[in-house]
């Protein structure tokens, strides 16, 4: 199956609103996106401006997902990755994460690291991060509120440019608070 990444254009605004509000996103800030909220975010440039770029993930001729890159003028951008529910479990997330990592490091030479966060209970995304060479760097307790008010732990992963270039994985020094 051929997978392509097409940059979001302002003419795609209503399609983006439909994409965001037409599915459920159980491991995002809100499981369901209100169309009016999505329209407002698009109009405010959250999907395409100096700091943000969005790409459609097209697989098998259909728009199967979305990659949103944020804070691109910073040395540590973040991203949002969404795959349509009927396309989940087909390896698109891993391919998209690999693609976005290469894209960011190639297009933004000052970027030194890319960060992503997910809920602790999102085992699929955590495995995807690891398969793609990202390293867990943070664990935030009770930091991710679900739509029902439940608090979940959040975990942060990152890819360093030097690891991406060398194909290695370096881990944080978790024992840096030696006492005595």
- pLDDT tens digit sequence for 72-99: 999 999 999 999 999 999 999 999 999 9
**Residue 167, pLDDT above cutoff 80:** yes
Q: Among residues of the chain, what percentage have pLDDT more than 90?
A: 86
Q: What is the mean pLDDT of the chain?
A: 94
Output the pLDDT for position 180: 59
Cα→Cα distances 132→6, 19, 36, 105, Å: 21, 26, 35, 14
Place 122 in a pLDDT band, splitting at 50, 70 and 90: very high
Cα-based torsion angle of the residue sequence 156, 128, 41, 55 in order, rounded to the nearest 10 degrees: 130
- For the chain, what are the domain ranges? 3-166
Rounded to an integer, the average pLDDT of 91-114 is 97
Token couple for 20: 């965001």
Q: Quote the pLDDT of residue 55.
A: 98
Helix, strand or coil, per DSSP, at residue 28: coil
What is the CB-side half-sphere exposure of residue 54 using CA atoms within 13 A?
24
pLDDT at 179 over 70: no
Task: Return the SS3 of 135.
Answer: strand
Q: Is 38 helix (H, G, I), strand (E, B) or coil?
A: helix
Q: Would you state the pLDDT for residue 54?
A: 97
Q: Return all residues near 158 (Cβ < 8 A) that are at least 6 apart.
A: 76, 113, 114, 115, 116, 134, 135, 137
Domain at 3-166, CATH homologous superfamily:
Gcn5-related N-acetyltransferase (GNAT) (3.40.630.30)
List beta partners, residue 144: 152
Q: Is residue 136 pLDDT above 90, yes or no?
A: yes
> Could you tell me where the beta strands, DSSP code E, fall in the chain?
3-7, 53-59, 62-70, 78-83, 113-119, 135-145, 151-160
């Amino acid at each position: 199956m051929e997978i392509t990444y097409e940059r979001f254009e302002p003419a795609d605004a209503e399609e983006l609103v439909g994409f965001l509000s037409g599915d459920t996103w159980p491991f995002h800030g809100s499981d369901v996106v209100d169309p009016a909220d999505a329209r407002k975010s698009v109009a405010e440039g959250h999907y395409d401006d100096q700091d943000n770029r969005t790409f459609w993930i097209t697989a098998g001729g259909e728009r199967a997902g979305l990659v949103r890159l944020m804070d691109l003028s910073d040395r540590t951008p973040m991203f949002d990755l969404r795959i349509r529910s009927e396309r989940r479990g087909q390896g698109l997330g891993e391919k998209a994460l690999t693609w976005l990592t290469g894209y960011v490091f190639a297009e933004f030479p000052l970027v030194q690291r890319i960060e992503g966060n997910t809920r602790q209970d999102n085992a699929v995304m955590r495995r995807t991060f690891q398969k793609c060479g990202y390293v867990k760097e943070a664990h935030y307790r009770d930091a991710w509120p679900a739509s029902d008010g439940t608090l979940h732990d959040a975990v942060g992963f990152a890819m360093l440019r030097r690891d991406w270039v060398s194909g290695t994985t370096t881990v944080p020094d978790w024992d840096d608070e030696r006492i005595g």
